[in-house]
Structure 1
């Protein structure tokens, strides 16, 4: 979602709360005494978001079926919903509207392998706040994209990923590892298909430069709560990229059919049985990929849990010295 929209929503909510407080305190209309449900309006507003997440986790439990992931307990689902509500307030009311540029990219580190971070639906690069800190701790070069526009064909984001990859290749001389949260994992898959199509059209035989692309090897990819096979939650339709993420969508089937097994084997798919957006849990898995189950985490939490970052760090190759094999 564009930062301007998120800022407008954030400021609008704050002003509405202040106006209610002034009215309730009698500063605006002292002759009118608030009563009934109007007096409880702020409480209803505060409870709305947790209620939405509780409905989502109730759906998680209902549609779990025979999914291979262990069935979460009611206590685990409620706890995940409450944590997710608090995290969502931080992400959507503060970090994304006001702090999306607070953590600059770190693309320059010759000889080190870097990480490209690709956010998901209605998010921006601020979703990676924790990852920026963790990667800086380890001295890992990284670049995070801001996908735009928000409601576009997932394929249309491919050039933005290519630009981020090119920045890291230029700064490190290495093929980066890519990490995608939610829709971001599908964007990475769509980017790779786009690359192969560009190379095929250019009649390339190994030199990506003839197609206007940076030269890289096949990268490793870590996905966090990505609807590789769609999600039950998208069945109601919506913008194009939401419809593309519906379970069993034509777009997902065509994407899978275009991919070689060797490419899918480069993926590590992190999922959770308490994910309130991508469910049932098996839909977050890519056939032929490595799967890692992190129990108890809700959807946003998957991008804020250090174990996911450690999985990515474990895949990084040792530093290289001397001249790079990439241009």
Structure 2
């Protein structure tokens, strides 16, 4: 199943269930507003889930020094806003859009964007609209089915790399992966090698697993669990040559990667940000500038 289909089904089910429950529980004079409860319920559920994530992150991996309440609330509010837009609008309804035009120029950097868990290519719309990578040939890929084992995505990435190289004339591409997308890139490298990869950039990817992996649905979520066999196998398979191509972008305020240091592969270049949550990293201007610089230097 596609992420867009799953999200539309979830929105429909939440609206229907919320409306019916409100019609049953509200007093008779207020039942005409039951539909409003159905509309607002997805927003409320998303905000509650994110609040739980932030509380768990603060309890299990507190910052040193501890962040102020105002700091955490600002990061949380931004993450809620980004999540509402991405999961309730962009990804369910705007995932089908033309790929950016590819100019056949082997000297122009070629970039493949790989989304994360429960997401699709629509997550990259803000980055594409920012034109931070306007100097590049950029392509996206959808990882399907949405709850498949991560190794199943390796071939999808390989096919996308092949198409991008053929269209652009580039010998090698830069892979950029957010969250699970970075882990899928590692699965691709383990299966297909790094011959066609100039650089691999991960954004908030749980390279050593996350405690929230055990709470997620699907094989892929459980594979990203902290201390799991899958992540250990990927780590053992990362030899010196591909390791040297990795750059890990992370946030000290990540609400999904617990512990947050899990987003960093030892022995690689690290770029760490502040005051930005897990999903909001993909539309943070500081992250965009870092990506543009890293892509440019990879092609040099």
Choose from 137, 140, 146 the match for 2:136: 140
CA contact (8 A) 2:19 2:36 kept: no
Alignment RMSD (CA, Å): 3.1
* Residue 187 (structure 2) aligns with: 190
TM-score relative to the length of structure 1: 0.79
TM-score relative to the length of structure 2: 0.86
Unaligned runs of 5+ in 1: 197-214, 321-327
Choose from 224, 236, 243 the match for 2:222: 243
Q: How many Å separate the matches in 2 of 1:193 and 1:11?
A: 39
Unaligned runs of 5+ in 2: none
* Residue 277 (structure 1) aligns with: 256
Range with bigger deviation, 257-266 or 245-254: 257-266
CA contact (8 A) 1:115 1:140 kept: yes
User: Once the two structures are superposed, what CA deviation does each residue of 1:293-317 show, in whole Å capped at 9, x if it has no partner?
Assistant: 1101111101111222222221234
Where is the helix percentage greater, Structure 1 or Structure 2? 2
Query: What is the SS of the residue equivalent to 2:176?
Result: strand
Q: How many Å separate the matches in 1 of 2:115 and 2:292?
A: 18
* Residue 68 (structure 2) aligns with: 73
Matched residue count: 292
Q: Report the Cα offset of residue 189 of structure 1.
A: 0.6
* Residue 6 (structure 2) aligns with: 5
Larger radius of gyration: 1
User: Once the two structures are superposed, what CA deviation does each residue of 1:78-125 show, in whole Å capped at 9, x if it has no partner?
Assistant: 222222112111111111111111242433331211110000000000
Map residues 152-191 of structure 1 onto 2, 5 A cutoff: 152-174=148-170, 175-191=172-188
* Residue 96 (structure 1) aligns with: 91
Q: Report the Cα offset of residue 187 of structure 1.
A: 0.3
Query: What is the SS of the residue equivalent to 1:133?
Result: helix
User: Once the two structures are superposed, what CA deviation does each residue of 1:120-160 show, in whole Å capped at 9, x if it has no partner?
Assistant: 00000000011222347624211100000011110110111
Q: Report the Cα offset of residue 11 of structure 1.
A: 4.2
Q: Report the Cα offset of residue 18 of structure 1.
A: 7.5
CA contact (8 A) 2:165 2:173 kept: yes
Q: How many Å separate the matches in 2 of 1:176 and 1:103?
A: 20
